[in-house]
């Protein structure tokens, strides 16, 4: 059985929601995969750590998860764009797939209904990230073997 290593980075802001992405990822990726989990304070810190982890050569993919909401102090769409752009640049620099589960809703308020919705949504996005990570790792392995 081949063991595949993944790095999963999660932001601490709104951890009760963001942690659900890891839950979905681990449930879907399966027991043959090994996942190392890293925590950062917020979304803005994910790209640098993702690049550093990818450059170690230990992981076939790195996944970053965060929930960027309008906190009323700065524009959350600016932060989300900077993070996603940083993840893209990091994967190109490191030559390792870096996948994003960095989500930013247009309007989030901490109501029970919205919180429950986003918890379930993050589980699903974690599952989707697992499928994408496994697929890209398999495709890249085939390319190297050819």
Active site residue 75: yes
Catalytic residue among 5, 58, 75, 89: 75
Tokens read off for 36: 């190392």
**Spatial separation of the C-alpha atoms in residues 11 and 59, rounded to whole Å:** 19
Closest of 106, 146, 100, 95 to residue 122, by C-alpha: 100
8 phi-psi bin (left φ>0, alpha ψ -120 to 50, beta other): beta
Tokens read off for 98: 């870096």
Q: Residues with catalytic annotation?
A: 75
């Amino acid at each position: 059985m081949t063991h595949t290593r993944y790095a999963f980075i999660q932001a601490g802001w709104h951890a009760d929601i963001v942690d659900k992405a890891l839950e979905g990822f681990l449930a879907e990726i399966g027991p043959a995969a090994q996942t190392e989990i890293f925590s950062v304070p917020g979304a803005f810190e994910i790209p640098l750590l993702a690049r550093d982890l990818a450059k170690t050569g230990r992981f076939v993919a790195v996944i970053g998860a965060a929930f960027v909401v309008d906190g009323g102090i700065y524009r959350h769409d600016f932060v989300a764009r900077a993070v996603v752009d940083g993840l893209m640049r990091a994967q190109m620099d490191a030559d390792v797939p870096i996948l994003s589960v960095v989500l930013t809703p247009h309007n989030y308020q901490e109501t029970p209904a919205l919180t429950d919705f986003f918890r379930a949504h993050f589980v699903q996005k974690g599952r989707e990230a697992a499928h994408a990570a496994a697929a890209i790792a398999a495709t890249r392995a085939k390319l190297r073997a050819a």
